[in-house]
Chain A
Amino acid sequence: MSEQDTGEVSTVEITYFDGTKRMTDIVDREVPYPDGKLIVSRTDPQGFITHANQAFIDMSGYSEDELIGTNHYILRHPDMPAVAFKGLWDTIEQGTKWHGYVKNLRKDGAYYWVKATVIPNIRNGKLVGYTSVRRKPSRSKIEESEALYKTLMAEE
């Protein structure tokens, strides 16, 4: 758990890349990453979720039914700068692997940090979707990312 967590609840409006907006409660409370697990999801080429493993369901707080068919931006935390995800999409659309640290928003408003890797799924030479696999990040990487994302947010 992050030492600065206040447990404070605030209501914010999140605007996604496609213009969709959503009002949601954000709680300043970290849920620790489960040891030894990988959080796995797959999406179609547009980023709509087609598969989520049990660790994904448990950590996000959504049911499998709520996740399948939903845009992956449902996990976007307002503390994440848009430029981080632009970097993700630019990388994977070129057909290459992307690594990064992401602060994710749970259904209950709390958050969890992951080290994510996203790769394109190629079948018979064609892009059919993407796979993302997350692992437990170190405390120092989380702190570095918090500082970096704060700076980037200030510039947006």
Chain B
Amino acid sequence: MTYNLTVSPDFAPDHISGWYFFNTWLQRKLDVGIHLELYDNFDTQRSDIRADKFDLIYANPYDASMLVREMGFQAVVRPASKSDETVIAVNAESPFQTVEDLSSGCRVATTDDPDVHTMGMIMLESADLDKNNTAIKEYSSYVVVAKNLLNGDADAGFFLKDAYDELSELIRSKMRVLVSSQISVVHHSLLVGPRMAEHIPAIQAALLTMQEDEKGKGVLESMDIDNWEPMDSEQTEFMIDLIDTLID
């Protein structure tokens, strides 16, 4: 049988080919067929995940919660020393120096990335801001969020920190970071679904030594991942409990 792999659409576009290399590498290692399907937005991907189309998912922490608690997936590895952090940035020329300088009516530019949006809204709470007293607009990418800050159409923008750091120097020089989250225990993970569960030991064994394999090392580089670290069920549950406290 052929299994299906998908990847959370929040990685930088430069790493798309890396995921194709990864898929080819993994199929050889496991000697099974795997089809990779990529999405450019979270909503379409989530409805396909709910329709039980996938067996292997590189998921953002928010989706990991649904996959583990509702669909019987199991997290097997996470990218080493990579956590999902959120940045709130403003136009460099704006008068805002701290989050608390933002006030009611503030125009917020965001994306459909659920983790980043949730964390961004949490970091606005200290300014007494929430969805009822801000004008939130969702854009298709972080580049578009940045453009809205630069041309003055938004007062504050939410970014995945990794994505912010990958914006061009020119764009970044025209913005200023108000706050950057430092949570460290919320991160992406690779999850395996019930149909593919018999392959978990082989998947974990292959991935945990991937950086020692010459081809594997190159694939990791193209995905911008140093190496994989194991994840057990308690680590996964801990992360999900934490995310639960952040969602109303």
A interface with B by C-beta (< 8 Å): 33, 35-38, 40, 42, 53, 55, 97, 115, 117-119, 121, 123, 131-133, 135-141
Contacts and interface: CB of A to CB of B under 8 A. Distances in A.
Interface stretch (B15-23, B44-52, B120-128, B216-224): B120-128
B128 A138 contact: yes
B180 A137 contact: no
B144 interface: no
Given A36-B180, A37-B183, A40-B185, A137 B126 contact: yes
A55 B244 CA distance: 19
A117 B122 CA distance: 12
Interface in B113-142: 122-123, 125-128
Contacts of A53: 185
B237 interface: yes
Q: Which 9 A-B pairs have the closest CB atoms?
A: A133-B245, A117-B245, A136-B126, A138-B128, A36-B181, A131-B241, A36-B179, A35-B179, A138-B126
B171 interface: no
B71 interface: no
Interface in B195-248: 237-238, 241-242, 244-246
B100 A119 contact: no
Q: Main SS of the interface on chain B?
A: helix
B182 interface: yes
B99 interface: yes
A107 B219 CA distance: 49
Nearest to B241: A131
A36 B241 contact: no
Nearest to A129: B241
B125 A136 contact: yes
A37 B125 contact: no
Nearest to A141: B128
Contacts of A131: 238, 241-242, 245
A121 B241 contact: yes
B185 A97 contact: no
A141 to B, nearest CB: 8
A121 B244 CA distance: 10
Contacts of A138: 100, 125-128
A119 B125 contact: no
B241 A119 contact: yes
Contacts of A42: 238
B162 to A, nearest CB: 15
A118 B126 CA distance: 19
Contacts of B181: 36-38
B182 A37 contact: yes
B237 A123 contact: yes
A135 B125 CA distance: 9
A106 B154 CA distance: 39
A140 B128 contact: yes
A113 to B, nearest CB: 11
A140 B244 CA distance: 25
Contacts of A117: 245-246
Query: Which of B100, B241, B246 is the most central at the interface, judged by chain A CB atoms within 10 Å of its CB?
Result: B241
B182 A36 contact: yes
A38 B183 contact: yes
Contact of A97 (B237, B238, B245): B245
Contacts of A132: 245
A121 B237 contact: yes
A118 B183 CA distance: 17
Given A35-B98, A119-B241, A137-B126, 11 more contacts: A35-B123, A38-B181, A38-B183, A38-B242, A53-B185, A97-B245, A118-B245, A123-B237, A132-B245, A138-B125, A139-B100
A131 B179 CA distance: 25
